[in-house]
Every structure is written in C-alpha cells, then in structure tokens.
Structure 1
Amino acid sequence: MAPEKDREAALRDRENVRVVVRVRPLSDKEIQAGYKSLVATDDRNCSIHVTNPSAAEGEPPKVFTFDSVFGEDSKQVDVYNLAARPIVENVLEGYNGTIFAYGQTGTGKTFTMEGVRSIPEKKGIIPNSFAHIFGHIAKAEEDKKFLVRVSYLEIYNEEVRDLLRQDQSVRLEVKERPDVGVYVKDLLTHVVHNADEMDKIMTLGNKNRMYLKMLHIQNIIC
C-alpha cells in the first residue's frame, strides 16, 4: 500500500466508532436462584449468540456481530489492550478519543471501567489508561513537553454536575462553539503530573457521583 493510502487508512481507523460487548458471568445470587446463561460468545467471529428459552425445538439462537466480544472469563488487561489501548494511543498522538460504557444496572459497567484499583490484575479501563498515559510520557523524547488536564463530570436526570467542584448544587450547561465544538461551560480542569494524582482526583469525584459518569482526559503536546 502506498504511503498516502497508509495515512488515509490510519485516519479512517482513528475516526471509527467501534462497538465492543462484554458478557459478565452469573453472580452468586443468580446461580443460587437457578438461573442459566443464555448468552454465548464467539471470539473468532466477534459475535454473540442469544438463545431464546421459549424457542421451538431446533430453533437456532439469534446471532449479533460486533467489532469485538469478550466472554465471561475475559480478563481486565485483555479488555483494555484490545478495546481501549488503541484509543489512548491515538489520543497521545493528538486525536480525540472517547470510551463510553453503556448497559443496564448490574451489567458490569463499573467493573469494566474502574475495576478494583487496589488489585493490579483487576484494574479497569480508567486506571489502566492512567498508567498508559504517563508510561508513554516517561518514555518520550526530552524535547517533547506534555500537559495533561483532567475533568470529571456526571450527567444525571439531564443535569450536568462537576464532580470536582466544591459546591455540588451548581448545574452546568452544555454549549457549542464553531471553534471548539461541544463543551461544558465552567467545567473545572485540573493539571496532573502522574497517575497517582489522577487516581486521587477520581477518588474525590467518586464521592460526589450518582450514576452515569464520564472521565475526560485532555492531552496537549507542545
């Protein structure tokens, strides 16, 4: 492939929206209640097979295909490396990137995104991205300067709150400008210098959050 086509393919890859599905195992409570899993994953074909318990005999399961799928035994590091690492790498090259977890209550969003931060192998996407970002910065050439700023907001009942603001009664507005696009007016940003500082900010914000959360990391290379 010609260099110009290589660049075009890389740009298209950065602009893609990718949908990844992770299937959590049954909880102890579900197992005790006698529930059975009706979902199977096909890693090779990136598909989910859903069996209808009321289906007629011989009826095949419904098959849904995604960009990637992770089964019940998937590990946090594998989810990060395949689903999140390429996005963070692109951010470090100057592109915008968003990782968004969606699902019903109890489906495992918090475990996938945050995990158990005190246990390395159980850390989720967010703490793993902290280590990734500052690991990249530590290996960068000396003539490159990095400025990392972090904000933490929550959208709940169509209201936007800054989880790092001392006054949690303040409601923010979503605005749009031709030069910057969509942004949240008066959202505070904090400059951080290492992964530990980001982790402390996350802990502070978690004390103020309700349900839906979004972590936005700004990276500027000078």
Structure 2
Amino acid sequence: MAELLYLDKLWAGYGEAVVLEDVSLTLNEGDSLSLLGRNGMGKTTLLSTLMGAADYKSGVMRFAGQDLSKVAPFARAHLGLGWVPQERDIFPSLTVEENLTVVATKGHWDVAKVCAMFPRLGERRLNMGNQLSGGEQQMLALGRALMLNPKLLLLDEPLEGLAPLIVQELLSIIQQLTEESGMAVILVEQHARQILPLTRQALVLERGKGVYQGPSQPLLDDSALLDSWLGVSSH
C-alpha cells in the first residue's frame, strides 16, 4: 500500500499554546489507526491540525504526496480528508437528504449507499437535522463525511454520549469501513478496548507526545501498559 499520511516531528497548538510536540506517524492507503490518550493529551488537536483548524507550527505534514501545511483549510476536504468532529456540526435547518447532498463529490458513496448503510437515515430523508436523535445525528455526520468520498476519514469520539445499542451499531459500521471500504480511517475514542479490535495500528499520545505507535493487537493484549497510559478510560 502506498503512503497516504506522513507526519514527522509535528508541532502544533492554538495561538502561543503548544499542544503537540514532536509527533510522528505514517499511515498507508486503506489503513486504520486508533488514536488514544487521556483527555487533554492532544488527540482532537491532531485531527484539527490535519484539517487546518489548529495552528501548525513546525515539522513535516504530508498528505497524498502534498505538503498539507501549505493547503488552505477549505481545500483539504477536496484533497481527500473527511472529518466527523465531536460536535457533529450537521445543518439543523436542512433535511437529512440536503445535509448529505450539500457536500457530495463524485465517487463510490452517494445518497443511496449511505442510506443502505444507515437505514434510519433512509427512513428520515425528509426530516430536518434538528428532528433527529443524537444517534441519528451521529449517523448523519458520518454519512455526510462519506459523501465527500474521502481518502482518509477522521472520526473524533463518534460513540460519545450514545445509547449502548447505537454504540454497537456504529461499531459494526466502523468495522465495515475499516475492513472493506479501502478508505483509511483514524479513530479517536476514550474506550480503547472498543476500538483497538477495529484498527490495525494505534498511536497513544501522552502530554502531546507519541508514546506508542505500532500494531493495535499487542497494545490490546497488554492490559497493564494500556491502563498505565489510559487508566480507567480504557475499560
């Protein structure tokens, strides 16, 4: 598989504040990564830096062969980055179908395929965004990102605050995406043991620095090591 994302000694933050220090990462096309760490360790900042919402300071940040630090934030989606932020950011006054089509680009994913993956969205195509439950809004946010037909999908805590049945449904869908879609995925989640089985790689951040990068399975098998970095959040 060809290299898709390459970070080397990346420093980033917000204004004068430095959050990420010396972070390095390589992700190939179609690969999957669990991005782990306690709250405040820099996980969301890393995704925000990739999307241009945080301040890049120094280091190499290359995506699909291009220097990402020189690509305007609005152009990064067109380059192949899809982002589902924690806040979901769906359009409350647009219908489900309008939410999906407003960002659509040509490719494998269209409204029919998204609704086949998320039948609830198909049933609610004419409902407004603000008429959906939290779980349905999360499905819509994920479906909208897929409509961009991205090369890399960034998911920032997609399971947060959802009912257990919805969590299981979304975990199944994320597993399908990581195993069958050919699209690369970076997944941020507090509950490490739920997502490590879904990804091939893992990166653990501790105070903005990478303390582990490697296969997911050895980290999943080493409870003591996992707990030392993540504490009770890993259960």
Structure with larger Rg: 1
Taking structure 1 as the reference length, what is the TM-score of the superposition?
Answer: 0.29
Q: TM-score, normalising length from structure 2?
A: 0.28
Highest RCO, 1 vs 2 (Cα 8 Å, sep ≥ 6): 2
